[in-house]
Structure 1
Amino acid sequence: MKAVVFSELGAADVLRVTDLAVPEPGAGEVRVRVAVSGVNPTDWKGRSGAYGAGEGEIPLSVPNHDGAGVIDAVGPDVGDFAVGDRVWVSLAAYQRPASGTAQEYTILAVNRVFPLPDGASFELGAATGIPALTAHRSLTVAEDGPSRLAPGALEGAVVLVAGGAGAVGHAAVQLARWAGATVVATVSGEAKASYAKAAGAHHVVNYRDDDAAEQIRAIAPEGVDLIVEVAAGRNNALDLAVLKNRGTIAIYANDGGTPFAIDIGQNMGLNVRYQFVLGYTFGWDKVAAGAEDINAAIADGALPVGEVAGLPLLEFGLDRTDDAHRAVESGAVGKVLVKVADL
C-alpha cells in the first residue's frame, strides 16, 4: 500500500511516499481503508519537533490524526463495528506513530473510530476529528454549563468564539448555535468575518477594533458566559473586559505566542474559571461523549463544511501531503485535506 512516512523530525521535506505492507488488526482494533485524511496544526507541529521531542531518528511514523473511510477488517473482541462500516477517526497517531491517516490502510484501536452518519461525506468526516472534539470539550467545561451538547443545552448562554474562521472556531460556532447559544465570533478582517457568519455566528466583531469590548458588551450587557480561546495571550485583556462574573475561558491554543500572564486581582474579582483543553489528554470518556454529540449534530445537518458553510476545503493528493502540511503551517484559511482514495 502507499503511505506517507517520516523517520526524523523536521520541515515538511522529511515526509516521503513509500510502499508498506498492509497491516492486520489485533484484538480491539480495526483496519480502515482511508478515503480522506485531515491535516491539523498539531500534525505539522508533531512532525517538526515543535513539541520538544528533540532531534535524530524516530520510529517510522505516518502523519495526520484525523480521517474518514471504510472499515476493511476487524480484529478479535470488536463488537461495535463490521467490515463495510463508514467511519471517521481521530487521534489516530497518538502513542501509535504508525497509525496516522496519510496512508491507504491504517490500524486503529476502536476508541478512536466513530460511525460516519448517513449522508455525511468522507470530506466532512475527515474535517471533524480534532477540531470538533476540541470545540465540544471547550463548550462543556463551564461550572454552570452542560457536560453534553444537544439542542437547548446552551439555551440562554452567550458564547464568544475567538478565531471564528479557524477549523476549531468554525466547529465551536456551529456546535454552540446547534445547542441554542447566542454566538459571538471574533475575527481579524472582513474575509474571515464572512466565514464566521456563514458558519452561523449571530454576531461577528473584529478584535482589532479599538471598541471591540464595547461592541461585545452591547450584544451581551451582562457579559459572555463562555469564551472559546485560540490566542490566550493576545486576547486576555479583551476576554476579561467582556466575561461575565463566574464565566469560563476555555483555552485550546495560544496562537501568536504572546505571553499569557494572569492578573490575580482582576481574575479573582470576576471569579474566572480557566480550562485548558488538549485532545490528547482530556480523556477517552470525553472523546467518546464528544463524538456521540458531534454525530448527533452531523445527523441534524448542523456541522456542514465547505465554502458556503464558512470552512473552505483545500484538497491535496497523497503524494502532496508535504504541501498539505506546508499549507497548514503557513496559516491557510479553511480545512486542509489529503485525498487518499475514491471509495
Structure 2
Amino acid sequence: MKSLVYKEYGEPSVLTIAEMPKPQIKENEILVKVEASGINPVDTYFRKGIRKVESFPHIPHFDMAGTVIELGSEVTTHQIGDRIWASNAKGASGEYVALDSSIAFPLNELPFTHGAAIAMPFLTAHLALFFRGELKEHDIVLIYGGSGAVGHAAIQLAKLKGSTVITTVSTKEKEKIAKAAGADYVINYVQSNVEEEIKKITNNQGGVSLILDMSLSENMEADLNMIKNGGKIITIGSPKNNTPPLLWRQLNQKNAALLGLLLFTVPKDEYIKAGKEISESISEGLIEAHQMEVFKLAEASTAHQALEAHQILGRAILVHS
C-alpha cells in the first residue's frame, strides 16, 4: 500500500511516500481505507526523535477518517462501508489502517477532512474536562489557547455543559476564532495581564474552578494564583520543560488538584465514552471541527514545516486521494 513514511528521525524533509505492507486485521479489528489524516504537534515530536517510534520505516500520525472495508471475525459494531473517524490509529497516514473496532466512531455524513480534524483535539479536550476535571454546569473554566486545536474544542464542550468559559489568545484574529467557538471572555495575553483580568471576571471571588493548561512549566505559578480554593488544574502538556518544578506549598495552600492527561494511556472505557459523546454532539450539530488547511499526502513535509512554524491557524489535514 502507498504510505507516508520516514526512515530516520529528522526535519520535515525525512517524510516521503513509499510502498508498505497492507495491515492484517485481528478478530476484534476493522480494516479502514484512509481518506484523510490529521497532523498534531505530537507527530512532529515523534518525527524529530523527541519521542521514539518502535521501528523504521515508520508510518506517522494517529488521527484519521475513512471507510470500513473489512471486518474481523468478532466485530459486531460495524459494517462494510461505514464511514468512521478515529484517533490512536497507529499508521494513520497509510493507505489502510487496522483498527480496534471499539475506538472507531461514526462519522455519518460529515466530510472525511472534518473527521480527521475532530479526533485527537476533541478527545483530549473532552477527557481533560470531564474525566479528569469533572467539569460541572456553572463552573468557571480557564482554557489556555482558545484558537488552538484543543482549546477550540474545549471551549465548545465546556459551553455545551453550561460552564462559563474564559480563554486566552495572542491576536485579534485568534480572538475572533475563540469568540466564535463560544467563549464568554477572551483575554489577549499580549495586551493584558491574565491574572488581573481573571480577578476582574471572577469579581475577586477566589478564582476559577478549573484550568486547562497546555504548557505547565510556563504557567504553573500563574495557575496557582488564579485557581480557586479546591479547584483543579488539568495539564495536557509542558513542551518547554517536561520536568517542571512542583510548587508544592502553593498547591497545598489552595487545596488544589494538579491532574495529568495523556490520551494514549487513558482507560479504554473512558476513551470510548468520550468518543461516543463527541460523535453524538457532532451529529446533532452542537459542536464542529476547527478550520483547517488541507494538504495532499505528498505535501506532508510542507504541512509539518508549517505546523512547527505556527503558520497554521486551525488543523493541518492530509487528504489521501
Q: TM-score, normalised by structure 1?
A: 0.87
Distance 2:173 2:216 in 1: 22
1:191 aligns with 2:173: yes
Q: Write the deviation string for residues 130-183 of structure 1: whole angstroms up to 9, x where unpaired.
A: 11111011102457x35xxxxxxx311111100111101111111111111111
Do the aligned partners of 1:165 and 1:193 also contact (CA within 8 Å) in 2? yes
Alignment of 1:126-137 (within 5 A): 126-137=116-127
The aligned residue for residue 44 of structure 2 is 44
The aligned residue for residue 151 of structure 1 is none
Distance 2:79 2:124 in 1: 27
The runs of at least 4 aligned residues of structure 1 exceeding 6 Å deviation read none
Q: Write the deviation string for residues 7-26 of structure 1: whole angstroms up to 9, x where unpaired.
A: 32222222211233544423
Distance 2:242 2:168 in 1: 17
Do the aligned partners of 2:294 and 2:317 also contact (CA within 8 Å) in 1? yes
The aligned residue for residue 105 of structure 2 is 114
1:172 aligns with 2:157: no
Distance 1:135 1:298 in 2: 14
Do the aligned partners of 2:292 and 2:313 also contact (CA within 8 Å) in 1? no
The aligned residue for residue 333 of structure 1 is 313
Do the aligned partners of 1:37 and 1:68 also contact (CA within 8 Å) in 2? yes
Distance 1:142 1:272 in 2: 13
Q: CA deviation at 1:224?
A: 0.9
5+ unaligned residues in a row in structure 2: which ranges? none
Distance 2:222 2:305 in 1: 31
Distance 1:59 1:28 in 2: 26
Count of residue pairs the alignment pairs up: 318
Alignment of 1:281-320 (within 5 A): 281-305=265-289, 311-320=290-299
How has the CA–CA distance of structure 1 residues 192 and 267 changed in structure 2, closer, same or farther, with 3 Å as cutoff? same
- Give the counterpart of 1:202 among 171, 184, 194: 184
Q: Which amino acid aligns with 2:126?
A: H
The aligned residue for residue 68 of structure 2 is 71
Q: Which amino acid aligns with 1:50?
A: I
Alignment of 1:184-263 (within 5 A): 184-221=166-203, 222=205, 223-257=207-241, 260-263=244-247
Do the aligned partners of 1:70 and 1:87 also contact (CA within 8 Å) in 2? yes
- Give the counterpart of 1:277 among 253, 261, 265: 261
How has the CA–CA distance of structure 1 residues 258 and 278 changed in structure 2, closer, same or farther, with 3 Å as cutoff? closer
Q: Write the deviation string for residues 92-134 of structure 1: whole angstroms up to 9, x where unpaired.
A: 11xxxxxx11122111122331111x33221221011111111
Name whichever of 173-182 and 184-193 sits farther off: 184-193
How has the CA–CA distance of structure 1 residues 47 and 211 changed in structure 2, closer, same or farther, with 3 Å as cutoff? closer
Alignment of 1:8-47 (within 5 A): 8-47=8-47
Do the aligned partners of 2:103 and 2:275 also contact (CA within 8 Å) in 1? no
1:61 aligns with 2:58: yes
Q: TM-score, normalised by structure 2?
A: 0.93
Do the aligned partners of 1:33 and 1:104 also contact (CA within 8 Å) in 2? yes
Identical positions, percent = 34
- Give the counterpart of 2:128 among 138, 142, 145: 138
Do the aligned partners of 2:297 and 2:318 also contact (CA within 8 Å) in 1? yes
SS of corresponding position for 2:55: strand
| Aligned alpha-carbon RMSD (Å) | 2.0
